[in-house]
């Protein structure tokens, strides 16, 4: 027997009298065409007053509309008892503070040891049938907040908020040097480096990319910077900060140019890079509207221990 997640319901109002059920599903419950075409074929996917009906029927005030999604699991992900930091969880969402060094999803050559392996194990231990659906990704070395949707409907709604620019995403970074301006906008199109395709560069022929930055503190050899994305290009923060002469400390791909300082400064930069061993980038805040309750959610994660240690080293010379 097919198992379903808890139904998502809506009560038809006077304003919607005579609307087609399909219209209510799309305009009021926000069901995408793709998802609707999928769930309408299932036994309990679309219901009107507790009965399965065609989505072309008209509705009247007081009618109860509901959609139910079939439960899914990530059969291709091996469950592993990998610890991770849960910030928030409910029937729709799992918010995790990802540790640096862990990959989000299995990839070629990395089938185990990922966040996905740990989350799938955690859900199975709880007896939950849920498929791993991260709403966005973080690089392996980047720490911080990541949202995981528990079904396709939730994933769709948060993804739409991302596309519409309605999601708050703030990052904290420790960079080499101190930007001359306390805040600013980096407007630099990004595309692949034709000489090294795994790298990205700022180029006039690239895709539009916007990054807003604000200097939180300057420490001489480095600075703590708050960043907000206007777009979501691959490696955007790392590429943009490098483009203005302030690469992230510890970044092995986008390194601080030795042409920017004296021999002593360059040596200090190398010491700082070695002190953390990864790009000093942290997803500090994530905010969006809950797809089911409509509540505005904001999740925060403090600097991880390695970045806090580096910050103190910059500030106090420890």
Specify the pTM: 0.89
DSSP state of 232: -
Residues serving a catalytic function are 139
Sequence ranges of the chain with CATH classification 3.30.2350.10: 72-165, 169-282+312-316
Report the pLDDT value the prediction gives residue 100, as an integer from 0 to 100. Answer: 96
CATH 3.30.2350.10 holds for 72-165:
yes
Sequence ranges of the chain with CATH classification 3.10.290.10: 8-67
Cα gap 10→87, rounded to integer Å? 29
Cα gap 287→301, rounded to integer Å? 12
pLDDT tens-digit map of 27-70: 999 999 999 999 999 999 999 999 999 999 999 999 999 999 99
Cβ–Cβ under 8 Å, residues 141 and 304:
no
Sheet strands (E) in 27-106 = 46-48, 51-52, 64-67, 85-89, 93-98
Report the pLDDT value the prediction gives residue 265, as an integer from 0 to 100. Answer: 53
Cβ–Cβ under 8 Å, residues 301 and 144:
yes
Fold of 169-282+312-316: Pseudouridine synthase (3.30.2350)
Cβ–Cβ under 8 Å, residues 119 and 98:
no
CATH tag for 8-67 (out of 1.10.10.10, 3.10.290.10, 4.10.490.10, 3.30.230.70) = 3.10.290.10
Task: Find the distance separating the first CA and the last CA of the chain, reported in whole Å.
Answer: 62
pLDDT tens-digit map of 242-285: 999 999 999 999 986 543 544 445 556 788 888 898 999 999 99
Cα gap 132→212, rounded to integer Å? 31
């Amino acid at each position: 027997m097919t198992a379903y997640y808890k139904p998502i319901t809506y009560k038809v109002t006077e304003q919607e009298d005579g609307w087609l059920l399909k219209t209510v599903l799309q305009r009021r419950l926000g069901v995408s065409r793709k998802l609707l075409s999928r769930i309408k074929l299932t036994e309990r996917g679309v219901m009107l007053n507790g009965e399965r009906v065609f989505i072309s029927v008209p509705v009247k005030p007081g009618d109860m509309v509901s959609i139910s999604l079939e439960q899914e699991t990530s059969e291709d992900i091996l469950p592993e008892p990998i610890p991770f930091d849960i910030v928030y969880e409910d029937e729709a969402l799992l918010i995790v503070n990802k540790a640096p060094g862990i990959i989000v999803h299995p990839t070629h050559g990395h089938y185990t040891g990922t966040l996905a392996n740990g989350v799938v194990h955690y859900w199975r231990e709880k007896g939950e049938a849920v498929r791993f659906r991260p709403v966005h990704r973080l690089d392996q070395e980047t720490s911080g907040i990541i949202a995981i949707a528990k079904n396709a409907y939730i994933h769709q709604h948060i993804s739409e908020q991302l596309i519409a620019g309605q999601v708050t995403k703030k990052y904290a970074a420790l960079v080499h040097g101190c930007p001359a301006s306390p805040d600013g906008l980096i407007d630099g199109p990004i595309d692949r480096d034709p000489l090294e395709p795994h790298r990205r560069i700022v180029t006039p022929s690239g895709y539009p990319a916007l990054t807003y930055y604000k200097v939180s503190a300057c420490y001489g050899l480095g600075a703590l910077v708050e960043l907000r994305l206007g777009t979501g290009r691959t490696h955007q923060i790392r590429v943009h900060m490098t483009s203005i002469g302030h690469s992230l400390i510890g970044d092995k791909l986008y390194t601080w140019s030795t042409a920017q300082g004296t021999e002593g400064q360059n040596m200090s930069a190398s010491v700082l890079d070695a002190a953390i061993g990864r790009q000093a980038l942290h997803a500090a805040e994530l905010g969006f509207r809950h797809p089911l309750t409509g509540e505005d959610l904001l999740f925060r994660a403090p600097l991880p221990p390695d970045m806090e240690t580096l910050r103190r080293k910059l500030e106090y010379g420890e």
